């Protein structure tokens, strides 16, 4: 399967969650076993030789491919969650969104200094959530941070919020 076939499997939902937004629904990639396996294989091939020690998935769609990828890479999985969801001591990062602020958290014992971390989420739009996740993971002094998305909406220029120390990859790109 190639990228165009994966792209054709993404469902478009017009005017969701608000009028004017063309929502890219990745759940259609996950419901078909063949496509899910292909997507997992594509992600694995991208990172198999990078020395990844932990995959961090952002709530909630990052919790789908993140653990599958961690398993394939023989790495641990770390959930990056919204406030109040993690039971032990956390680090947190607050960031601005279009309509206010949001916060994400990770357990303080999730990562050891010097680890190689892959941050995964389903979609890159403006980049705010993932930029906050990168800042959060930097608190652990990792050796390297990789960032991955299934989909990138190129016109929104979310890639530009990341500095050159972060390798950012996406699988499916839309001009929007």
Query: Does residue 142 lie in a domain region?
Result: yes
Known active-site residue 81: no
Strands (E), 29-165: 54-58, 76-80, 90-97, 100-107, 116-124, 144-153
DSSP state of 60: T
CA–CA separation, 100 and 22 (whole Å): 21
Please report, rounded to a whole number, the percentage of residues in the chain having pLDDT higher than 90. Answer: 86
Query: Does residue 168 lie in a domain region?
Result: yes
Are 89 and 105 in contact by the 8 Å Cβ rule? The answer is no
More confident of the two residues 97 and 63: 63
Query: Does residue 2 lie in a domain region?
Result: no
Query: Does residue 91 lie in a domain region?
Result: yes
Query: Does residue 24 lie in a domain region?
Result: no
Kindly report the backbone phi and psi dihedral angles of residue 61, in degrees, each rounded to the nearest multiple of 5, phi listed first. Answer: -70, -15
118 exposure class (CB count in 10 Å sphere: 0-12, 13-18, 19+): buried
CA–CA separation, 41 and 35 (whole Å): 10
At 1, the pLDDT band (50, 70, 90 cuts) reads: low
Angle at which helix 62-73 crosses helix 33-47, to 10 degrees, equals: 60
Are 71 and 120 in contact by the 8 Å Cβ rule? The answer is no
- Largest Cα span, the chain: 44
Query: Does residue 69 lie in a domain region?
Result: yes
For residue 45, the model assigns a pLDDT of 96
Identify the CATH number of the domain in which residue 114 sits: 3.40.50.2020
At 68, the pLDDT band (50, 70, 90 cuts) reads: very high
Known active-site residue 61: yes
Query: Does residue 12 lie in a domain region?
Result: no
Split into its structural domains, the chain has a count of 1
Query: Does residue 18 lie in a domain region?
Result: no
- Domain of residue 70, residue span: 51-174
Candidates 126, 131, 146, 79; CA nearest to 107 is 79
Q: What is the pTM of this model?
A: 0.94
- Residues 61, 81, 93, 152: which is the catalytic one? 61
For residue 17, the model assigns a pLDDT of 86
- Residues 4, 98, 101, 160: which is the catalytic one? 98
């Amino acid at each position: 399967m190639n990228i165009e076939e994966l792209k054709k499997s993404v469902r478009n939902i017009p005017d969701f969650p608000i009028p004017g937004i063309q929502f890219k629904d990745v759940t259609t990639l996950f419901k078909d076993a063949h496509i899910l396996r292909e997507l997992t294989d594509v992600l694995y091939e991208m990172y198999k030789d990078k020395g990844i020690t932990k995959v961090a998935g952002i709530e909630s769609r990052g919790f789908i491919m993140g653990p599958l990828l961690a398993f394939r890479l023989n790495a641990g999985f770390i959930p990056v969650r919204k406030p109040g969801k993690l039971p032990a001591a956390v680090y947190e990062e607050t960031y601005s969104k279009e309509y206010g602020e949001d916060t994400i958290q990770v357990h303080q014992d999730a990562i050891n200094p010097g680890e190689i971390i892959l941050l995964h989420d389903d979609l890159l739009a403006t980049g705010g959530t993932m930029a906050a996740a990168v800042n959060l993971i930097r608190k652990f002094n990792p050796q390297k941070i990789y960032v991955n998305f299934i989909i990138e909406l190129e016109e929104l220029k979310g890639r530009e919020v990341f500095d050159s120390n972060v390798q950012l990859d996406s699988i499916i790109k839309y001009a929007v």
